[in-house]
């Protein structure tokens, strides 16, 4: 049987949020490749080989998956959320660029529910108008780029969703993010912290920028900042779909 390679999104955490299409690919796979905690979400079974690796070897992981697919294996590379949002789909194509012989492989990208959308649904509809997503980690780009994009997104009036806001190795950077947001958006702008959405550890906290503190976020948190029109309605937060002229 000829091999194939699927890059699949496992959703934000709950098994119910894994799509049937992804479940079918996992059931047919001979090999699962991915970051350690994501591979751990795939149930072992006879004939299934699990290849878990660290979170900073994305290109090595992609090359390994391509090699196995070329050798006739049915390979699923797993990401959390959606594989095209700060995840393995881009790494796979970057690795593929350097190996023309592998560009005719049977490759599919299967979407998943990304953490940003799962968090927004729990909060209400904070991304109901134009929005952007920014990865706050500086592992793959200078933090000066993060600051530049953040400031311009705020000036553009976008609602914003932040991935990887604060880690043990860079606890100070999110404090700087909050400073920039207060400078550009003011103290009254709503900001929501959605931690471990769809898991038993889920916690949702919505405050104003004046009340926000760096320690409210960690690597399991998606942070969503509303635009100037975002407001509360009962326990919910939403952004109207209309906008006034600037």
- pLDDT value of residue 111: 97
- pLDDT value of residue 107: 97
Q: What is the per-residue pLDDT across 181-229, written as a single tens digit (0 to 9) for each?
A: 999 999 999 999 999 999 999 999 999 999 999 999 998 999 999 999 9
- pLDDT value of residue 134: 96
CA proximity to 157, closest of 218, 56, 239: 239
Candidates 3.10.310.30, 3.40.50.20, 3.40.50.300, 3.30.950.10; CATH matching 116-238: 3.30.950.10
- pLDDT value of residue 245: 64
Give the chain's largest Cα–Cα span.
60
**How remote is the C-alpha of 138 from its chain's centroid?**
15
Tokens describing residue 66 = 């391509």
CA proximity to 15, closest of 200, 163, 194, 164: 200
Class assignment of domain 4-113? alpha beta
- pLDDT value of residue 18: 96
User: What DSSP character marks residue 11?
Assistant: B
Going by pLDDT thresholds of 50, 70 and 90, the confidence category of residue 110 is very high
Going by pLDDT thresholds of 50, 70 and 90, the confidence category of residue 87 is very high
* pLDDT at 244 exceeding the cut of 80: no
Query: How far apart (Å, rounded) are the C-alpha atoms in residues 61 and 51?
Result: 9
- pLDDT value of residue 47: 92
Query: Does 4-113 match 116-238 in CATH topology?
Result: no
- pLDDT value of residue 156: 95
Q: What is the per-residue pLDDT across 120-155, written as a single tens digit (0 to 9) for each?
A: 999 999 999 999 999 998 888 999 999 999 999 999
Query: How far apart (Å, rounded) are the C-alpha atoms in residues 64 and 92?
Result: 10
- What does the domain layout of the chain look like in residue ranges? 4-113, 116-238
- pLDDT value of residue 178: 97
> How much is the mean pLDDT over the chain?
94
């Amino acid at each position: 049987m000829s091999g194939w390679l699927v890059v699949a999104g496992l959703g934000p955490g709950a098994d119910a949020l894994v799509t049937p299409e992804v479940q079918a690919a996992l059931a047919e796979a001979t090999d699962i490749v991915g970051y350690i905690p994501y591979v751990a979400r795939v149930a072992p079974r006879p004939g299934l080989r699990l290849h878990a690796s660290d979170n900073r070897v994305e290109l090595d992981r992609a090359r390994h998956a391509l090699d196995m697919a070329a050798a006739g294996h049915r390979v699923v590379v797993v990401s959390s959320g959606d594989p095209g949002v700060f995840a393995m789909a881009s790494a796979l194509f970057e690795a593929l660029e350097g190996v023309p012989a592998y560009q005719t492989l049977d490759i599919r990208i299967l979407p998943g529910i990304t953490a940003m959308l799962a968090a927004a649904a729990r909060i209400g509809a904070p991304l109901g108008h134009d929005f952007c997503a920014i990865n706050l980690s500086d592992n793959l780009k200078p933090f000066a780029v993060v600051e530049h994009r953040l400031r311009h997104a705020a000036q553009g009036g976008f609602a914003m969703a932040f991935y990887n806001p604060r880690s043990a190795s860079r606890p100070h950077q999110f404090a700087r993010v909050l400073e920039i947001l207060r400078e550009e958006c003011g103290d009254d702008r709503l900001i929501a912290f959605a931690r471990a959405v769809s898991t038993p550890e889920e916690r949702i906290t919505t405050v104003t920028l004046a009340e926000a503190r760096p320690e409210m976020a960690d690597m399991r948190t998606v942070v969503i900042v509303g635009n100037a029109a975002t407001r509360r309605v009962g326990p919910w937060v939403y952004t109207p779909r209309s906008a006034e002229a600037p």
